[in-house]
């Protein structure tokens, strides 16, 4: 998850919103563009059990 997402989540929380910032691709990976996002997402689709496991880990 990139700094923009983290900072934006903090800004919204400061305004009183309940915020979830999810490390969707796991292990701090994030996409800078749609092509990269597609590649990372395809890994999740190929092995959804790993994605589920990663999403269930506490922060």
Q: Where are the beta strands (DSSP E) in the chain?
A: none
Helices 34-46 and 48-55 pack at an angle, to 10 degrees, of: 100
The reported pLDDT for the residue numbered 31 is 86
Please give the model's pTM, rounded to 2 decimal places.
0.58
The reported pLDDT for the residue numbered 10 is 95
Length of the chain as a residue count: 59
- Residue tagged 């903090």 (tokens): 10
Tens digit of each residue's pLDDT, the chain (59 residues) = 778 888 999 999 999 999 988 877 877 788 889 999 999 889 888 888 887 877 777 65
Q: How many CB atoms lie within 10 A of CB 36?
A: 13
- Residue tagged 């934006």 (tokens): 8
The reported pLDDT for the residue numbered 21 is 84
CA Rg value for the chain? 13
- Residue tagged 């996409």 (tokens): 31
């Amino acid at each position: 998850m990139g700094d923009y997402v983290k900072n934006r989540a903090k800004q919204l929380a400061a305004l009183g919103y309940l915020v979830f910032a999810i490390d969707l691709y796991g292990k701090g990976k994030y996409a800078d563009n749609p092509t990269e996002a597609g590649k990372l997402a395809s890994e999740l689709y190929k092995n959804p059990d790993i994605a589920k496991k990663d999403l269930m880990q506490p922060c």
